[in-house]
Structure 1
Amino acid sequence: MEKTRIAVAGAGYIGLAHMAVAQQSDMCTLSAIVDPSPAAEAIAAKQGVPLYRSLDELFEKDRPDGVILATPNQLHLEHTLTCLQARVPTLLEKPVTPTVAEAEKLAKEVDRTGVKVLIGHHRAHSPIMARAKQLIDEGRLGKLVAVMGSAVFFKPDHYFADAPWRRQPGAGPILLNMIHEVHNLRMLCGDIVAVQAFSSRATRGFPVEDTVSINLRFASGALGSFMLSDTAASARSWEQTSQENKAYPTYPDEDCYVIAGTFGSLSVPTMRMKTYGKAEDRSWWKPFETSVADMTRDDPLKLQIEHFTRVIRGEAEPLVSVRDGLQNLRITEAIAEAANTGSIVDTSPAH
């Protein structure tokens, strides 16, 4: 089978990552780059593909089989609508759009046109996440009761000096980082139907929060607690435990999620399990059977582009739909609202 031709719009950090996996793939190939900036010329030359200044120019001169949109968030709606009009399958980087209202509009257009759109929550393609979900779905933990999660790390001062907007409302770890965690938690534990939160800016003193304590209620009745901070010197984050992004040092003894049920618990990503063998032996006075679940590691971005290729070919449905992306955004915004108002915010999908 001929390789599927995929164009990448946006030659920034994440766009370059998509280009790299496309160039190395056995299933697809990078066919073009779309970016109006002068810096993109050198990138296209290095990649050995043509450069176009707009999606319209791309579709007119060199129509690809699919497009990856790695453009700025504020352009997500406009660019995806252009791809829908051209009936070109699209991988849209998260967040799906900057606002829930825009995401709702996009979801309706995707439903209306029937064009396939995959949202780039790349952790959804992680073999670690797939294995954890399998263990939970098999009932190895019993009925889910609680999840304890963390994304606690330290961003250096130059992170904020290099881009001063990161100090201002509209940035902060809730909107910049938490959306990744929301999708992971929904994937493992089901729909989140309500949130509460406390936020603090006591460490850095910026106008935006640096630390957040979050409570979650799941549709199953399970409850969750999540600690989020970009100013706490800790390794309990996905980047520093999963070993999937080589840009970060990793610590194999650390976990960022613990999921507990009526028969046992699973720590992720070490995959350490503590379970009771028999129903009648469940007691805090009884010892657990301890084990480490087998798993494999692979690059989620590589697996994501392979999945996108199958979506383009009509061999698969998007693992992360626009409506998934909408719900992740809705919950993330609700956490910010709960932190600002002190209220419990309803996030049920029908809400």
Structure 2
Amino acid sequence: MNGPTRIAIVGAGLVGRRHADAIWRNPGADLSAIVDPSDEGRQFAAQHGVPCHGSLAELFAADHPDGVILSTPTPLHVEQGLDCIHNRCAVLVEKPISNSAEDAMRLVLAAERANVPLLVGHHRRHNPLIQKAKQIIESGAVGAIRAVHSQCWFYKPDHYFDIAPWRAQKGAGPISVNLVHDIDLLRHLCGEIISVQAQVAPSSRGFENEEVAGAVMRFDNGAIGTLTLSDGIVAPWSWELTAREYPVYPATSQSCYLIGGSEASLSLPDCTLWNQNGKRDWWEPINATTIARPSSDPLDNQIAHFLSVIAEEAVPLVSGREGTRTLSVIEAIQKSARTGQAERPMTFDDAPSVGVAI
């Protein structure tokens, strides 16, 4: 490929602008266009001297970038992704990949049939911290994973909902908006989740969404996982406040993931390994070793990875199938909270039964 890889961004909101910053920081990438019909989108494009189009149809009629990033509302992802696939353009779609796993499967299978790269923006997997944690687990230092706990507690202020009233409406609660990140990392680090049982508590502020959620998860390797989630608790235990990934969040020294194994346990994101030097005994002293790892912006790393996939030098770290599997777990949690029963996440083996063409 001659010259920089040309990337268009669809949706110039907060997330789209962060992607634009990451593109500008990469000398091998060029922000070739913005697709956004809003006045704010046009102003952003004009400010930076970038062409602006009102739709993907306009973009592809005028140009053909090497890749497209979809930073649009989730209900638009599937149809916009299909437009990119029809135009044989690699696409990175923000998480969650779709409103439903069934629709996501339709997008994934279309991309696979057309042999067009489809990536999902679960950017935390591109954090060197997570890559180091994955190496530690795969090295056998933790042993067989037996239990996992994820804690995601924070307080969203009232003005968060005032400026965007849809955030208080059904379907935009912390399970859909926030937990999808944590579920993706739990799957990535600990294995597939094969069943969930969940409960939720309603908003104390009178919103339509849940404010507290908890779930028990069974992994295919036999491990049991627990999680708790709330956007109405003042607390230091969430990825945002512990990982130092995005400076807008004040950092704490706490951890939010605990991974327990037969040989040791690992806390994250402090990346501390707790073991007893081979003598496993609750009366023996336990050692804590904080493991060094490099630090870099996962959004920058995700852009660099997208360029490598476009150049056919790498396969997607978070493929469309991976994004769909994560969304399926979220759907199972939501369904279990309604039914009170343990629920199994949908898999691609279920596709024919739900009417998705293979």
| Same fold (TM > 0.5) | yes
Q: Summarize the Cα distance change of 1:302–1:289 in structure 2 as closer, same or farther, 3 Å threshold.
A: same
Look up the match of 1:312.
Answer: 310
CA contact (8 A) 1:191 1:348 kept: no
Residues 30-72 of structure 1 deviation map (CA, whole Å, 9 limit, x = unaligned):
1111111122221111221111112122122221111111122
TM-score of the aligned structures, taking structure 2 as reference length: 0.94
Alignment partners' CA distance in 2, 1:297 and 1:211: 32
Listed as ranges, the matches of 1:278-297 within 5 Å are: 278=278, 281-297=279-295
Do the aligned residues in 2 keep the contact of 1:193 with 1:218 (CA within 8 Å)? yes
Q: Give 1:260's aligned residue.
A: 260
2:185 matched residue in structure 1: 184
Distance 1:59 1:341, change over 3 A: same
How far is 1:162 from its partner? Answer: 2.1
Return 25-34 or 305-314, whichever deviates more.
25-34
- Give the stretch that moved more between structures: 225-234 or 99-108: 99-108
Corresponding letter in the other structure for 2:314: A
| Secondary structure at 1:15 match in 2 | helix
RMSD between aligned alpha carbons? 1.3
Give the structure 2 partner of residue 324 of structure 1: 322
Letter in 2 for 1:81: L
Q: Pairwise mapping of residues 1-12 of structure 1 onto structure 2 (< 5 A)?
A: 2-12=3-13
Q: Does 1:149 align with 2:150?
A: yes
Match of 2:344 among 325, 333, 346: 346
CA distance in 1, matches of 2:220, 2:24: 41
Query: Corresponding residue for 1:194?
Result: 195
Alignment of 1:75-86 (within 5 A): 75-86=76-87
Whichever residue aligns with residue 240 of structure 1, its letter is L
Cα deviations by residue, 1:170-214 (Å, 9 ceiling, x for unpaired): 111111111111101001101000001111126334332100111
Distance in 1 between the 2:166 and 2:5 partners? Answer: 38
Q: Structure 1 residues 61-70 or 204-213, which shifts more?
A: 204-213
Q: Is the 8 A contact 2:331 2:345 kept in 1?
A: no
Residues of 2 paired with 1:64 and 1:287: CA distance?
A: 58
- Structure 1 position 158, deviation (Å): 1.4
Give the TM-score taking structure 1 as reference length.
Answer: 0.96
State the alpha-carbon separation in 2 of the partners of residues 206 and 87 from structure 1.
42
Q: Distance in 1 between matches of 2:28 and 2:224?
A: 41
Identity value in percent: 43
Q: 1:17 is aligned with what amino acid?
A: R
- Alignment match, 1:277: 277
1:91·1:118 contact (CA, 8 Å) conserved in 2? yes
1:304-324 Cα shifts (integer Å, max 9, x gaps)? 000000011111111111111
Q: Could you tell me which residue of structure 2 aligns to residue 96 of structure 1?
A: 97
Structure 1 ranges of 4+ moved more than 6 A? none
User: What number of residue pairs does the alignment pair up?
Assistant: 348
Describe the shift of the 1:58–1:215 C-alpha distance in structure 2 as closer, same or farther (beyond 3 A).
same
AA in 2 matched with 1:83? C
Which of 326, 334, 337 lines up with 1:336 in the alignment?
Answer: 334
Q: Is the 8 A contact 1:194 1:348 kept in 2?
A: no
Match of 1:107 in 2: 108
Answer yes or no: is 1:59 the counterpart of 2:60.
Answer: yes
User: Structure 1 CA distance, aligned partners of 2:327 and 2:313?
Assistant: 28
CA distance in 2, matches of 1:205, 1:309: 45
Q: Deviations over 1:251-281 (max 9, x none)?
A: 1x20010101011111101111111212xx2
1:65 & 1:160 partners in 2: Cα distance?
36
One-letter code aligned to 1:283? D
Question: For residues 190 and 205 of structure 1, what CA distance do their matches in structure 2 show?
Answer: 36
After TM superposition, list the pairs within 5 Å mapping 1:1-40 onto structure 2.
2-40=3-41
Cα offset, 1:168, TM superposition: 2.3
The answer (yes or no) to whether the contact 1:192–1:348 under 8 Å persists in 2 is no
5+ long unaligned stretches in structure 1: none
Query: For residues 70 and 23 of structure 2, what CA distance do their matches in structure 1 show?
Result: 14
Cα deviation, residue 348, structure 1:
6.5
- Cα distance between partner residues in 2 of 1:19 and 1:165: 25
Structure 2 unmatched ranges of 5 or more: 351-358
Q: Report the residue type matching 1:303 in the other structure.
A: N
8 Å CA contact retained: 2:328, 2:346: no
Code of the aligned partner of 1:266: L
1:274 partner amino acid: W
User: Could you give the per-residue CA deviations for residues 153-177 of structure 1, whole angstroms, max 9, x where no partner exists?
Assistant: 0011111222222222211111111
